[in-house]
Amino acid sequence: MSTTADNLACSCIYCNAPQNRLLYPTRDMYGNNFTVRQCRQCETVFLWPPPTPQQLEQAYSETYYGQQEHKFNSLVERVVDYFRSRRAKIIGRWVSPPGRVLDIGCGNGRFLHYMQGLGNYETYGIELPGKAAERAAQIKGLILKQGKLENGDFPENFFDAVTLFHVFEHLDQPRQTLQIINKIVKPGGIAYISLPNIDSLQSRWFKGKWLHLDPPRHLFFLGPKNLQHQMKQLGFELAAERYFNPEYNPFGMQQSLLNLFLNKRDVLFEHLKGHHNYTKEYSPLNLFLQNLFFKSTFPLFVLSDALESLFKKGATVEMVFRKK
Ligand SMILES: [Zn+2]
């Protein structure tokens, strides 16, 4: 590919620098084509061109918290709920009550609901207007802002913990968001960020077909080292990191392997979410076999995740940063 064409007026979503290089192409669920590029200045990997408002609207409304009341069928929803309660316990270990916790991109608010159950926590959530936010608004004691985090939403040094569970990569102004977080977290408080690991083996192997690339919803990726560096600039120190994650990583491997062989991406994932309109061109037998592959090889991929994680190459990463 020509490098001059690669450098057409596109700038990094994180630092705004104009120099970047093409990594690989990718295609979203609806057949829209994008490229994945890396900033030469700050090493952020980003989707280009940026998805249009219509593309984002379609991607969020149909397959996230969309038409259905729940994102998944009830069994999967129960498993997801288990992981939400586990996340609350993890935050509870870092911040003992009483404390103030803000969850950015709080979805239906279930994590904050579990937080309340652990003790005297004041819970705050931010979520874009929609079905998920409507559900969060019904949780007693949860203070919800429908919209985006903005300067002046909260006083300085206000929170003991600010959490972003697989939300950071969705933000359209990531640098500004980290700067606001830096203001509103107390000295000694924590910022907890989990995100896909762009430096993972899965990312390198599957490139544009990697499940956790998730175009067009994931707009950019900071590698773990890069995020540490950015947080350090703001005055946060890394307190813990974890790469092993049975909730996200084994399935990432399984779905990405299937993506190599199928025309459409993420068919099994959409099938499990009950998105029948998306999977209707696949026969019941085909979907059954994909499901069988998922169930029968899951333990194998938990094991491979454990190995990858030893080298910090797991498909997702959770990082806890402490403000000095
Ligand atoms: Zn950059």
Between the CA of 317 and the centroid of ligand 1 the distance, in Å, is 21
pLDDT at 136: 96
Between the CA of 171 and the centroid of ligand 1 the distance, in Å, is 15
Between the CA of 40 and the centroid of ligand 1 the distance, in Å, is 7
Domains of the chain and any CATH numbers: 74-198+222-243+317-323 (3.40.50.150)
Between the CA of 233 and the centroid of ligand 1 the distance, in Å, is 15
Q: What percent of the chain has pLDDT over 70?
A: 94
pLDDT at 31: 95
Between the CA of 39 and the centroid of ligand 1 the distance, in Å, is 5
Between the CA of 17 and the centroid of ligand 1 the distance, in Å, is 5
pLDDT digits (tens, 9 = 90+) for 19-57: 999 999 999 999 999 999 999 999 999 999 999 999 999
pLDDT at 73: 66
What residues sit around ligand 1, an ion, with C-beta below 5 angstroms?
12, 14-15, 17, 39, 41-42, 44
Between the CA of 174 and the centroid of ligand 1 the distance, in Å, is 11
Q: CA gyration radius for the chain?
A: 19
pLDDT digits (tens, 9 = 90+) for 55-75: 999 888 765 544 455 556 677
pLDDT digits (tens, 9 = 90+) for 213-265: 999 999 999 999 999 999 999 999 999 999 999 999 999 999 999 999 999 99
Between the CA of 83 and the centroid of ligand 1 the distance, in Å, is 33
Q: How many CA atoms lie within 13 A of 155 on its CB side?
A: 5
Phi and psi for 284 in degrees, rounded to 5? -55, -40
End-to-end CA distance of the chain: 45
- Scanning the chain, the segments in alpha helix (DSSP H) are 3-6, 53-63, 74-94, 110-117, 131-137, 174-184, 201-206, 224-234, 249-261, 267-272, 276-279, 284-310
As given in the structure block, the two tokens for residue 288 are: 């059954």
Between the CA of 56 and the centroid of ligand 1 the distance, in Å, is 22
pLDDT digits (tens, 9 = 90+) for 181-202: 999 999 999 999 999 999 999 9
Between the CA of 199 and the centroid of ligand 1 the distance, in Å, is 16
Report the distance separating Cα 222 and Cα 134, nearest Å.
31
Between the CA of 132 and the centroid of ligand 1 the distance, in Å, is 32
Between the CA of 224 and the centroid of ligand 1 the distance, in Å, is 15
